[in-house]
Amino acid sequence: MDSKDQDKDSLYLKLIPYFEKYGILLLLVIMIVVMHFLQPDVFLSWRNVTNVFKQISWQSMLALGVFMVIVTAGIDLSVGSIMMLSLMILAIVAKAGAPWYIVVITPLIAGFLCGLFNGLGITLLRMPHPFIMTLGTLYIFRGTGNLISGGTPISGFTDEVRYLGHGRIDLTWLGLEKSQYLPVSLVLIAIVYIIFWIFMNKTRTGKWIYAIGGNPNAARASGINVNKILVIVYSLCGFLSGIGALILAGRTDSGYPNAGLQSELDAIAACIIGGASFFGGRGTVLGVFAGVMIMGILRNGLNLMDVSSFWQQVLIGSIIVLAVYVDVLRRDFGTRK
């Protein structure tokens, strides 16, 4: 009896790490099942599923960038503005008649440089917290985007420029109908997330990012150049925001002043829902993906059920609080042995 109890106990303890890793996916699956029962005809239809992916496409890039920053115990409030500025630069370059391969690269470079600016500001100017530097650049980048565009939308891009955000991969060769295509943005999300999963989990730099978030003094004492890693992280975050801009350009066919307004908060919310800790060192790429999906499915599902967007705000806010509370409870279980 006693040993049986112990077995049960150790099984429970063994399950905890799996729950920590994959619990958020469980929540995602539950949401999908619930939505399916609420909207059996529509929710899991090809059209709607691809729609969800198209809607989360650019947010997923911002969230991934912010995630890496949060792992270092930092924050990047400027990702929405970086995306808007990159988008405006793209629009201007496109309107100036540059060839598509130049147009496509510009937002990536612009985003990277904006992130580099953040990283250098945080490390060289020794800002007391990344919150302050990126709050500043939230205004600076959006203001710059408006200055260079005159604050008016710039529309009309070529198909090549729009490919990542708007392209379709035809699947009729698989015997599917013409309407059952694969959005290019979905493939892009998969590729980018896999690359960054490898980066965060398998490379030395990724490990150091986690170490800095866990204990920056330990990282420093271990001979890790903490400032250099931070500059890399913020630059990559900017780069991902640049990819977001490219996707958004494809989706909307225009550069517009309100692009990405408040999207930095959505990105942070997705990371938190996905289990990343604000104190740094904790969180997974898979979790962020689940966080982005949960927000996307929630919005999509509520739209399908014709629930007002005001209720969506209330619900998303509640989920953030609930997700973190579940995390607090889980940690209680984990430490009380």
Partner 1 sequence: MSSANQLLLEAKNVTKYFGTITALENVNLKIHAGECLGVVGDNGAGKTTLMKVLSGLYKPSAGSLHFEGKEKVLESPRDSQNLGLEMVYQDLALAGNLPIGENIFLGREPTTNLGLLKFLDYKKIKELTEAHLGKLKINVKSADQKVEELSGGQRQAVAIARSTAFNAKVVIMDEPTAALAIKEVGKVLDLINGLKKTGVGVIVISHRMDDIFAVCDRVMALFQGTNFAESELSNTSRDEVIGWIMGKK
Provide the binding-site residues for partner 1, judged by CB under 8 A: 202-205, 207-208, 210-211, 213-215, 217-224, 281-282
Shortest reach from residue 136's CB to partner 1, in Å:
29
Burial of 92 (0-12, 13-18, 19+ CB in 10 A): middle
Measured from the CB atom, is 219 or 233 closer to partner 1? 219
CA dist 242 and 256 (Å) reads: 15
Q: What are the beta bridge partners of residue 254?
A: 155
Shortest reach from residue 228's CB to partner 1, in Å:
13
Measured from the CB atom, is 80 or 213 closer to partner 1? 213
Shortest reach from residue 110's CB to partner 1, in Å:
23
Shortest reach from residue 225's CB to partner 1, in Å:
9
CA dist 27 and 322 (Å) reads: 12
CA dist 98 and 158 (Å) reads: 11
Measured from the CB atom, is 74 or 183 closer to partner 1? 74
Burial of 90 (0-12, 13-18, 19+ CB in 10 A): buried
Neighbours of 319 (CB within 10 A): 19
Shortest reach from residue 134's CB to partner 1, in Å:
23
DSSP sequence for 5-73:
HHHHHHHHHHHHHHHHHHHHHHHHHHHHHHHHHHSTTTTTSHHHHHHHHHHHHHHHHHHHHHHHHHHTT
CA dist 208 and 136 (Å) reads: 27
Measured from the CB atom, is 181 or 210 closer to partner 1? 210
Shortest reach from residue 326's CB to partner 1, in Å:
19
Measured from the CB atom, is 200 or 295 closer to partner 1? 200
Measured from the CB atom, is 126 or 202 closer to partner 1? 202
